[in-house]
C-alpha cells in the first residue's frame, strides 16, 4: 500500500509532523523559536556519526535526541531573560550559527556534506515517533508541568507569583522541543542518506514555524494539520510544475488572512 | 563598506517594527527585488548607477505598499495574533523569490560595474570608487531619512504613530496612510541596499535576500528594537566587525560571527545597545 513515492511522502510528512511538535511544545510555554532547523542539524549530524561508528540505530537516535536536548538547554539559558521578538531573533541567530558551524566543521564533512548513512529510517519508526510526540503534546495539557507551561504563556509574572519555577519550566519546554527536533533530524539523515548544512538553514526553521502557526497554536492537532497541509499541498499541486511554490506562498498568505489564528481552533482547557 | 548596506536593511526593519511591532519576514526579498530592478535598468537603458538607484527606490517603495495592502492590512483588520503576519510575509517572500527565480534563473546574474575603479589613497586606507559610492549613498540615505523623520510633518506623524498607534489616530493622524508610508520608505531603503550590494559583489541571485534578512534582524536587535539610530550604529559596527573577523580570525566563520556577537551583546544588554523601552511582553 505504501510504497515508493507515497512511502517517501509519508516519511517526510512524519518528519515534518515531528518538527511541528518540536516547536509546538516550547510555544505552549510562549517560547517562539525560529531556530528549530539548528536542533534538527545537531540531531542529524550526531546520529549519523554514531551509526557510522557502528552503533545500533535506535540507540543512536535516542542519543542524538539527548545531545540535542542538552544543546536546547544551552540555548534556553539566554532565553530565560528574553522573550517575544528578542527570543525569535536570538533563536534565528542560533540556527545560523549551527549552520555555519557544520559548514566549516571538517570532521563531519564540512561544506562537502556527510553521506554514507544506511537507510534505517522506515515508516514504522517515524510513525511511532509521531504518535509518541502527539501523546506527549496531548497529555501535557493535563499534567502539572504542562499546566505550568500554559500559565507561563498566559502571564509570566502571575505564574511566578503562583509558585511556578520559571527557569525550570522554560528550560524543560525548550529542551523537550529540541529533543523532538533532534530525533526528527536523525530520521531525516537516515532517510535522505546525505546531509549538508544548507538543508538545515533558515527555511527549515521557518517551515517548523509555519507548521505550528498554520495549524493553530493551542491544540495538539494543530502541528499535525499544519505539517500535512504544508507537505501535501506542494505534492498534490505538482502539476503546476514550476509555479507550485508560488502557489504555496499564495496559499500561506491566503490562510493567514482567512484564519489568522490557525486552521484548528485552540482546545479549551477543562478544569476538573 | 558593507556596514552601510546592513544599516539600511536594519533601518527598514526598525521602521516597520517601530510602527507595527511586527517582523516583516519578506524584507530580505524586497532587498533582492531592489537589486534586480537596478540590474535591469542598467542593462536595458545603459544608464549609470544613480538612475538605477532611483528606479530601485521607486520600484521597491511600490512593492512595499503592495505587500502592506495584501499581506499585512487585512490581518490587522481581522485582529489576528502577531504570528499571522509573519506567516503571510513568509508566504509573500516565497512568492517573490520563486517569481524572480522563474524570470532570471536560479543562477547568479552578473552586475555591470559602471564605475571606473580608481583607487584613492586616503592616507590611512585605500578605497575604490565603488566603495566610496556605496558608503556615500548609504550615508546620504540615512541623512535624508533623519531630516525626514525629524523635520517634516509626515516624519513627525510617523514618530507619533510609532509612539502609540491608537492615540495618534485619535489625534487625527491618518495612521493607515502613515503605515503605508512607513512600508514605502523601509522598502525603498532595502532597495537601495540591494543595488549597493549588487555593485559591491558584482553579482545578484534570487536567494540573496535570506542571508541579508537574517543579518538585518540581528542588527535591529543589537541596535535596540525600533530604534532607527541604533540600527544605523549597529549596522556600521557589524560591517567593521565582520571585516576585522575576516582579517584576524577566520573568514569562513564570518556569517556566524555576526550572530555570536549579537548573542553576547544581548546577554549583556538584553534590550540592545540603544534601548528604546518598547514593550515586547507578548
Report the chain B residue with the minimal C-alpha distance to residue A104. B252
Strands B119-121 and B203-204: unpaired
Task: With beta carbons under 8 A apart, name residues in chain A contacting B98.
Answer: 242-243, 245-246, 249
Task: With beta carbons under 8 A apart, name residues in chain B contacting A206.
Answer: 25, 90
Kindly report, residue by residue over A156-205, the tens digit of the pLDDT. Answer: 888 888 888 888 999 999 999 999 999 999 999 999 888 988 889 888 89
* Nearest by Cα to A178 from A44, A56, A9: A44
Spatial neighbors of A254 by CB under 8 A, at least 6 apart, are none
Rounded to a whole number of angstroms, the distance from the CA of A142 to the nearest CA of chain B is: 24
DSSP B153-182: HHHHHHHHHHH-HHHHHHTT--HHHHHHHH
- Whole-angstrom distance, CA of residue A90 vs CA of residue B272: 12
Report the chain A residue with the minimal C-alpha distance to residue B85. A256
Total domain count for chain B?
1
Return the residue in A38, A75, A93, A259 with the most chain B beta carbons within 10 A, the one to mutate for interface testing.
A93
- Indicate if the pLDDT at residue A1 is higher than 50: no
pLDDT score for B278: 54
Closest CB to B225: pick one of A85, A203, A261.
A85
- Whole-angstrom distance, CA of residue B238 vs CA of residue B273: 13
Its domain, for residue B56, covers 2-107+121-207
Return the residue in B103, B223, B259 with the most chain A beta carbons within 10 A, the one to mutate for interface testing.
B259
pLDDT band at A266 (very low <50, low <70, confident <90, very high): low
Is B8 part of any domain? yes
- Whole-angstrom distance, CA of residue B130 vs CA of residue B114: 9
Query: What mean pLDDT comes out for the span A218-224?
Result: 84
Instruction: Tell me which long-range contacts A108-111 makes (C-beta under 8 A, separation of at least 24).
Output: A108/A45, A108/A48, A108/A49, A109/A196, A111/A196, A111/A197
Query: What mean pLDDT comes out for the span A237-250?
Result: 75
- Whole-angstrom distance, CA of residue B181 vs CA of residue B108: 32
Query: What mean pLDDT comes out for the span A209-217?
Result: 85
Kindly report, residue by residue over A55-77, the tens digit of the pLDDT. Answer: 888 999 999 999 999 999 988 88
Is B160 part of any domain? yes
Is B188 part of any domain? yes
Closest CB to B90: pick one of A78, A92, A210.
A210
pLDDT score for B223: 83
Report the chain A residue with the minimal C-alpha distance to residue B220. A89
Closest CB to A85: pick one of B74, B81, B280.
B280
Closest CB to B260: pick one of A97, A209, A251.
A97
Is B261 part of any domain? no
Return the residue in B23, B28, B95 with the most chain A beta carbons within 10 A, the one to mutate for interface testing.
B95
pLDDT score for B57: 93
Kindly report, residue by residue over A111-137, the tens digit of the pLDDT. Answer: 788 887 888 888 888 889 999 999 998
pLDDT score for B36: 92
Q: Which three cell numbers stand for residue A32?
A: 517562539
Instruction: Write out the E strands in chain B.
Output: 109-110, 119-121, 126-128, 203-204
* Nearest by Cα to B118 from B106, B132, B105: B132
Domain residue ranges of chain A, discontinuous segments joined by + = 4-200
pLDDT score for A72: 92
pLDDT score for A272: 46
Rounded to a whole number of angstroms, the distance from the CA of B71 to the nearest CA of chain A is: 6
Report the chain B residue with the minimal C-alpha distance to residue A78. B267
pLDDT score for B281: 40
pLDDT score for B161: 87
Q: Which residues of chain B have pLDDT under 50?
A: 279-282
Closest CB to B255: pick one of A96, A206, A245.
A96
Amino acid at each position: 500500500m505504501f510504497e515508493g513515492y507515497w512511502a517517501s511522502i509519508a516519511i517526510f510528512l512524519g518528519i515534518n509532523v515531528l518538527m511541528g511538535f518540536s516547536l509546538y511544545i516550547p510555544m505552549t510555554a510562549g517560547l517562539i523559536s525560529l531556530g528549530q532547523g539548528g536542533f534538527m542539524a545537531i540531531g542529524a549530524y550526531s546520529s549519523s556519526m554514531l551509526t557510522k561508528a557502528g552503533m545500533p540505530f535506535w540507540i543512536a537516535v535516542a542519543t542524538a535526541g539527548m545531545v540535542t536536548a542538552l544543546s536546547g538547554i544551552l540555548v534556553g539559558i539566554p532565553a530565560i531573560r528574553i522573550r517575544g521578538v528578542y527570543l525569535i531573533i536570538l533563536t534565528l541567530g542560533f540556527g545560523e550559527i549551527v549552520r555555519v558551524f557544520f559548514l566549516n566543521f571538517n570532521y563531519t564533512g564540512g561544506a562537502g556534506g556527510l553521506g554514507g548513512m544506511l537507510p534505517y529510517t522506515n515508516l514504522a519508526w517515524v510513525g511511532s515517533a509521531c504518535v509518541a510526540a502527539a501523546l506527549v503534546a496531548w497529555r501535557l495539557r493535563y499534567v502539572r508541568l504542562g499546566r505550568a507551561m500554559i500559565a507561563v504563556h498566559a502571564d509570566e509574572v502571575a505564574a511566578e507569583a503562583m509558585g511556578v519555577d520559571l527557569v525550570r519550566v522554560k528550560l524543560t519546554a525548550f529542551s523537550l522541543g529540541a529533543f523532538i527536533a533532534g530525533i526528527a533530524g536523525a530520521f531525516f539523515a537516515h532517510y535522505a542518506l546525505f546531509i549538508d548544512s544548507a538543508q538545515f538553514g533558515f527555511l527549515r526553521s521557518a517551515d517548523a514555524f509555519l507548521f505550528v502557526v498554520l495549524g493553530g497554536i493551542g491544540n495538539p492537532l494543530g502541528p499535525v494539520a499544519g505539517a500535512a497541509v504544508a507537505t501535501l499541498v506542494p505534492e498534490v499541486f505538482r502539476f503546476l510544475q514550476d509555479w507550485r511554490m508560488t502557489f504555496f506562498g499564495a496559499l500561506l498568505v491566503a490562510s493567514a488572512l482567512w484564519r489568522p489564528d490557525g486552521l484548528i481552533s485552540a482546545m479549551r482547557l477543562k478544569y476538573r | 563598506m558593507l556596514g552601510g548596506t546592513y544599516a539600511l536593511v536594519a533601518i527598514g526593519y526598525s521602521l516597520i517594527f517601530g510602527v507595527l511591532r511586527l517582523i516583516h519576514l519578506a524584507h530580505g526579498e524586497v532587498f533582492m527585488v531592489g537589486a534586480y530592478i537596478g540590474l535591469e535598468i542598467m542593462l536595458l537603458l545603459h544608464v549609470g548607477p544613480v538612475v538605477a538607484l532611483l528606479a530601485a527606490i521607486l520600484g521597491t517603495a511600490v512593492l512595499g505598499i503592495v505587500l502592506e495592502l495584501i499581506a499585512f492590512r487585512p490581518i490587522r483588520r481581522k485582529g489576528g495574533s502577531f504570528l499571522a503576519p509573519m506567516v503571510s510575509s513568509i508566504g509573500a517572500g516565497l512568492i517573490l523569490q520563486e517569481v524572480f527565480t522563474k524570470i532570471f534563473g536560479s543562477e547568479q546574474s552578473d552586475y555591470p560595474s559602471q564605475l571606473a575603479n580608481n583607487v584613492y589613497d586616503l592616507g590611512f586606507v585605500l578605497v575604490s570608487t565603488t566603495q566610496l559610492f556605496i558608503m556615500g549613498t548609504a550615508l546620504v540615505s540615512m541623512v535624508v531619512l533623519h531630516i525626514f523623520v525629524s523635520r517634516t510633518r509626515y516624519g513627525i506623524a510617523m514618530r507619533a504613530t510609532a509612539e502609540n498607534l491608537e492615540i495618534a489616530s485619535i489625534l487625527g493622524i491618518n495612521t493607515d496612510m502613515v503605515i503605508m508610508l512607513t512600508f514605502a520608505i523601509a522598502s525603498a531603503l532595502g532597495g537601495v541596499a540591494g543595488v549597493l550590494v549588487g555593485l559591491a559583489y558584482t553579482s545578484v541571485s534570487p536567494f540573496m535576500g535570506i542571508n541579508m534578512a537574517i543579518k538585518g534582524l540581528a542588527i535591529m536587535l543589537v541596535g535596540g528594537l525600533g530604534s532607527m539610530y541604533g540600527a544605523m550604529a549597529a549596522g556600521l559596527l557589524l560591517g567593521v566587525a565582520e571585516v576585522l573577523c575576516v582579517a584576524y580570525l577566520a573568514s569562513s566563520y564570518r556569517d556566524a560571527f555576526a550572530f555570536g556577537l549579537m548573542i553576547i551583546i544581548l546577554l549583556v544588554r538584553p534590550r540592545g545597545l540603544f534601548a528604546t523601552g518598547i514593550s515586547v511582553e507578548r
